[in-house]
Amino acid sequence: QAQLVESGGGLVQAGGSLRLSCAASGRTISSYAMGWFRQAPGKEREVVAAISRSGGSTYAADSVKGRFTISRDNAKNTVYLQMNSLKPEDTAIYYCAAKWDYSGRYYTKKYEYSSWGQGTQVTVSS
């Protein structure tokens, strides 16, 4: 399984931007569909964005569509989440996840993913 390490979280004012990175080691991520999830205190972990192995297909949750963009650089074994126009309700721990994939699609359910990072805190102040 791939080992995943997130970075790039922090404290930002509403309307600001952050770019999260997820660096993989142990295996090349080109065989994995990747996803970003988040979990706010007292809430379930929810999908934010997902991307297919090649990067040709992407998904963004309605709550972040038009503000967040997922991308990947397989040569660097890294997945990114560009977050713009951040809102206080985006405050959460953000997790990167990987799923070994043969189909070339993306996945949006947390039970579909087998590898998870430790998470990075994003706090958006009003």
Alpha-carbon distance 47 to 118, whole Å?
A: 16
Residue 104 has pLDDT above 90, yes or no: yes
Summarised one tens digit per residue, pLDDT across range 62-81 is: 999 999 999 999 999 999 99
What is the model's pLDDT at position 73? 97
For residue 20, list its beta bridge partners. 81
At 27 the pLDDT is 82
Distance in angstroms (rounded) separating the CA atoms of residues 97 and 88: 23
pLDDT tens digits along 12-56: 999 999 999 999 988 889 999 999 999 999 999 999 999 999 999
| CA gap 15, 4 in Å, rounded | 28
Nearest to 94 by CA among 19, 15, 3, 17: 19
